[in-house]
Amino acid sequence: MKTLKLFTVLSLALIFVGISSLKTNGTNPIPVSQVIRYQVTIHAPTTDRPTCNLYLVEMVDQNGNTIAPPQVLNPSKNVYTFYELGTVKGVRIARIIIDKDVMHYSCPVEFMCAPDKQTGIFLAGETYPFNLYPTRDRLSD
């Protein structure tokens, strides 16, 4: 009986040690030296931000494939950061789009912006700035 209790206690201890080691190894972040950082700055006063429809800030490649998940445009936020693993060669485009997954409204003013496109080799461990200068097109007065 004492042997059974000893083995039970030892087994439980080994299980807890194993779970603890998995937790610490599973939460290690990817080193910054292996990640490309794209920093998108929107140069518009908060008074010019959209109040109608839902807009997304996104980073895409030359084929329109998203590099990282799009982020919802927040009227009080100017800087959005996107991450990509490794060093890559190609085109990266920062842009603002209307969210196509939600219902759209006919708004008197649409939030428009020319995309910022950069071509080259994007190195891991580096930060690449993108700048968006929105304009508001009046659809009706």
Q: What is the mean pLDDT of residues 1-16?
A: 45
Amino acid at 52: C
Amino acid at 71: Q
Q: What is the mean pLDDT of residues 122-133?
A: 96
Return d(Cα 54, Cα 17) in angstroms, integer. Answer: 47
Return d(Cα 111, Cα 95) in angstroms, integer. Answer: 12
The share of the chain scoring above pLDDT 90, in percent, equals 44
Q: What is the pLDDT of residue 64?
A: 94
Q: What is the pLDDT of residue 138?
A: 43
Residue 63: pLDDT over 80: yes
Q: What is the pLDDT of residue 137?
A: 52
pLDDT tens per residue across span 94-127? 999 888 777 666 666 677 788 999 999 999 999 9
Q: What is the pLDDT of residue 113?
A: 84
**52: pLDDT confidence band, cut at 50, 70 and 90?**
confident
More confident call, 57 vs 107: 57
What count of Cα atoms within 13 Å lies in the side-chain half-sphere of residue 60? 14
Mean pLDDT of the chain: 77
**7: pLDDT confidence band, cut at 50, 70 and 90?**
very low
